[in-house]
Amino acid sequence: MTRESLELLAREAGFDAVGIAPAVRAPHAEAFHRWLGEGCHATMDWLARDPERRCDPRQVLEGARSVIALAMNYYVPEAPPERGAVSEAPPERGAVRGTIARYARGRDYHNLIAKRLRRLDLRLREAGGRQRCFVDSGPVLERDFAVLAGLSWHGKSTLALHPKLGTWFFLAAILTTLDLEPGLPMPDRCGKCTRCIDACPTGAIVAPYKLDARRCIAYWTIEHEGPLPAWLRPLLGSRIFGCDDCLDACPWNRFAAASREADFAARPASRLPLRDYLGLTDEAFRRTFEGSPIRRAGRQGFLRNVCTALGNVGECGDIPALEQAAADDDAIVAEHAVWALERLRGGGSAHRAPEKMGWLNPVREG
């Protein structure tokens, strides 16, 4: 199979960019081992499970010769009001809304991309290949192979960057036994820019190309189970699922075009007033976020985040909903509602942002 035919198949399957890398040990393998050794993966223990296998695709698929890196654009710009249209009525006082990472506002990308990977797998089988396909679901350092394949470069934020897609794309990988012509690695085009590092509200990008999950809002609001540490809560602002600050700051995103995938458009459930989420039972939470990435946080984690955000940006009109949440059967939801009520009633301590480097160790603090 030629590079040209693979590119055509990838486009037909709905991907926006494709590249081919040799199936070798990942270039950042040693750095990944050091990162794990320093505990930067926080409680995401699956990352430390057999890490060398994650670094070498030949340990995942016997006889692997190539890695196909694929990108799918998920950027959906905020819709401006139409000319001449009556503007949307402002929300009633107290009906503040939270901030959800752009990738999570629409349908969950895992199932969508997995279906398209299966289509490619069938065509690769016809060419005589055996494959394993992954989209954030297996032991592959996708970004390393995307760089080797010439699909992207490795940004200082640790995100993959594409000259036309910016940072707004999902990565997928296909390991194959086919010996395909590899692309040329893309040069690093970040230059002297440090906007992503400067933009991070918690200093989670502790050095260029290095992120410490123990400081990252995306980790705390999505992956972490249990209460949020005291140092983090004021820094959450209105964020209730993920954080896009380093993405929004990247100047390469000015070239990003809107995704052609309708499933990535924001769903109504991602735009509710914060206080409306607090009335969700377990069943209602699952129903409201059916097919959404937000289900990953679970009701406890999501309402914990909502309460915290209300403590930061809420208004007096949110107090009744928080009072109800303070009596929730879930102790963690209740505790964060109490914290929010104290803030809204004037009992909370003033927010003082920590120094981004050398600040109090969040691991020790909670």
Query: Please, which residues have CB within 8 angstroms of residue 170's CB and are 6 or more apart in sequence?
Result: 71, 72, 74, 103, 109, 113, 135, 136
- Can you give the pTM of this predicted structure? 0.90
How many CA atoms are closer than 13 Å to the CA of 61, on its beta-carbon side?
A: 22
pLDDT classification of 1: cutoffs 50, 70, 90: confident
In a domain, 355, yes or no: no
What's the DSSP call for residue 303? H
User: What is the percent of the chain where pLDDT is above 90?
Assistant: 86
* Domain span at 51: 3-91+108-176
Choose the catalytic residue: 45, 50, 56, 136: 136
Q: Quick check: is 136 catalytic? A: yes
CB 303 within 8 A of CB 278: yes
Query: What CATH number did the domain enclosing 45 receive?
Result: 3.40.109
CA distance 366 to 356: 17
In a domain, 197, yes or no: no
Amino acid identity for residue 185 in this structure: P
Q: Are residues 167 and 275 in the same domain?
A: no
In a domain, 210, yes or no: no
Q: Are strands 131-134 and 99-100 parallel, antiparallel or unpaired?
A: unpaired
Q: Does 136 have pLDDT greater than 80?
A: yes
CA distance 198 to 294: 27
Q: Are residues 161 and 24 in the same domain?
A: yes
Least confident of 72-81, 115-124, 357-366: 357-366
Q: Are residues 39 and 139 in the same domain?
A: yes
Q: Are residues 298 and 162 in the same domain?
A: no
Q: Are residues 270 and 171 in the same domain?
A: no
Query: Please, which residues have CB within 8 angstroms of residue 71's CB and are 6 or more apart in sequence?
Result: 15, 16, 17, 18, 146, 151, 152, 160, 162, 165, 169, 170, 171, 172
User: Closest Cα to residue 36, out of 21, 24, 53?
Assistant: 53
Q: Encoding tokens for residue 16?
A: 């926006």
State the pLDDT at residue 361. Answer: 42
